[in-house]
Amino acid sequence: YSSAVQKFSQTLQSFQFDFIGDTLTDDEINIAESFKEFAELLHEVELERSMMVQNASDLLIKPLENFRKEQIGFTKERKKKFEKDGEKFYSMLDRHLHLSSKKKESQLQEADLQVDKERHNFFESSLEYVYQIQEVQESKKFSIVEPVLAFLHSLFTYNNLTVELTQDFLPYKQQLQLSLQNTRNHFSSTREELEDLKKRMKEAPLTCKLPGQPTIEGYLYTQEKWALGISWVKYYCQYEKEAKTLRMTPMDQKPGAKQGTLDLTLKSCVRRKTDSIDKRFCFDIETNERSGTITLQALSEANRRLWMEAMDGKEPIYHSPITKQEEMELNEVGFKFVRKCINAVETKGITTEGVYRTVGSNIQVQKLLNAFFDPKCPGDVDLQSGDWDIKTITSSLKFYLRNLSEPVMTYKLHKELVLAAKSENLDYRLGAIHALVYKLPDKNREMLELLIQHLVNICEHSRENLMSPSNMGVIFGPTLMRAQEDTVAAMMNIKFQNIVVEILIEHFGKIYSGPPEDTAAPPVPPPRVAARRHKPITISKRPLRERPVFFGASVEESGADRHGQTPNGSGGGEAP
């Protein structure tokens, strides 16, 4: 048993989490460093040699094995299905593209239907596989740490000499549980957005384009004329609309061939008539670098339309129909609605447990919104009457804010706000968000102040309603902020949107006392001996009994790290 614990301690010490995204939240930093803290504790316990752990199998081994079998095993099955469907689809596509356009129309239609069916299966397999990888990597943050945390707690509970160790461990355990819960909350809100995005991508998969990436990219076949005839070569093409540049990378490169990636500048694009060529889905382009036309073949008619739309081809521009809810505006009626909702919540529901977290009936929400925003008599609804419960009012307020044509904190400032929340320097983080608030348009800033003041009032009753600034950040982060493009990368930034709202709540008095001295740019923190940065929470260390200290943190340093900071850097009281 002793040998096993020592090996386990070494494993924890060397284990590295894989985090998706370019920056970790403060809670994720705590989680990432948690195994090193656990490793130190195990080492100290092993030096005492008085451990006998109960329920190690139930608390530790089985949950980890279940995670490996159920989550990672399931992901491997998804991968096999993805590879199988991909191989099946591309082999069918290659056969399909060699069909002559002179065949009977019924044969071509049947072949098109078969390809579309396989393409749908492959696309669905791809989405499910990527989604499963994302889910496993994100759920690792708590699904792996929590069994270990439970194992350590059990170890100290049943050890004869655990009194002092447990006293040291409990404050850290509480703070780490808070970080785990915050991360779980971020995961839940992100997961809902990702499921919604996945649904939209299934309905209109060809309309999704990544910001900052080529306007369109994918496979095209190019007609190439040789001395002995004509051949079709497969290329991976990336077209940037703004610069009109087309990059073509050959995919069927033969050994010894010298042809590499082509970089071309587009001059024109024209659809190729079907009766003029023995291939379907073709279009011609002209470039500055090559004389004459280049004939390209897309993978389908819909795919050709997308390429031609991106290249401003001489064809009508087709748009896939996208159903979108009617957008609301930040106008006088909207302000009246928000004020009435806030007044109703603070009058009769401020102490309601889970206020804003509990969701109301969709039918009732639509009924309230339709009544309030009725063009004939806008705002003529009494929210104080018994007709509307708190859940309906709070859900209606969130629905209104989320369906504004532009979010309260605007698309323009979204990237800067997220970058500010990602900063390691806590002073800069607060200062940058303070400055950016005063870059908002007047009506947006007024609405934001109205809402944040309300959320501050809600959080002051957290003992009754159990809603902390962190909880409110999870609820209102995606409501007050959203990226202009719906992508998985944007979804991964939702946790930083939540942190922005959490900071606004915790520092409302300072931020809305007035603008910073210079609002032209976020303030640079003044130089100091040691910049105030978020540090991972640590377990307080007792001086060992006449033994050398094996790990570097001193009692004073670890104590300084623990006191006076919440996960997002604000001074605060005790952890719940």
Indicate the domain borders of the chain. 1-203, 215-311, 332-513
Cβ-in-10-Å burial (0-12, 13-18, 19+) of 89 comes to buried
How high is the pLDDT of residue 60? 86
86 by DSSP, 3-state: which? helix
- Give the span between the Cα atoms of 240 and 218, in whole angstroms: 12
CA angle (149 as vertex; 147, 153 as ends), nearest 5: 115
3-state secondary structure of 221: strand
Query: Pick from 219, 217, 213, 295: which is nearest to 252 by CA?
Result: 219
Closest CA to 276 of 286, 284, 267, 287: 284
How would you classify the pairing of strands 293-297 and 216-226?
Answer: antiparallel
With CA atoms as reference, report the closest residue to 209 among 241, 244, 234, 245.
Answer: 241
Question: The tokens 């952890």 sit on which residue?
Answer: 575
The pLDDT score that the predictor gives to residue 480 is 93
Q: Which residues contact 289 (CB under 8 A, 6 or more apart)?
A: 262, 263, 264, 265
- What tokens appear for 219 in the block? 């496979």
What interhelical angle do 414-422 and 426-437 show, nearest 10?
Answer: 160
How far apart (Å, rounded) are the C-alpha atoms in residues 440 and 445?
6
Looking at 2.30.29.30, 3.40.50.720, 2.40.50.180, 2.60.40.3880, the CATH number of the domain 215-311 comes to 2.30.29.30
Rounded to 5°, angle at Cα 278 from 272 and 279: 65
What are 326's two structure tokens? 């009617």
Please say whether the beta carbons of 285 and 304 come within 8 A: no
- Distance, CA of 175 to chain centre: 24
* Letter string b/e over residues 542-555, b meaning 16 or more CB atoms within 10 A of that residue's CB: eeeeeeeeeeebee
Give CATH for domain 1-203.
1.20.1270.60
Residue 316 CA to residue 321 CA, distance in Å, equals 15
d(CA 520, CA 383): 41
Domain covering 332-513: architecture = Orthogonal Bundle (1.10)
Write phi, then psi, for 75 (nearest 5 degrees). Answer: -65, -40
Q: Which residues of the chain have pLDDT under 70?
A: 48-55, 156-162, 203-214, 227, 253-259, 275, 315-327, 518-534, 540-576
Q: Which of 498, 400, 471, 504 is nearest to 193 (CA)?
A: 498
Question: Got the DSSP string for 448-463?
Answer: HHHHHHHHHHHHTTHH
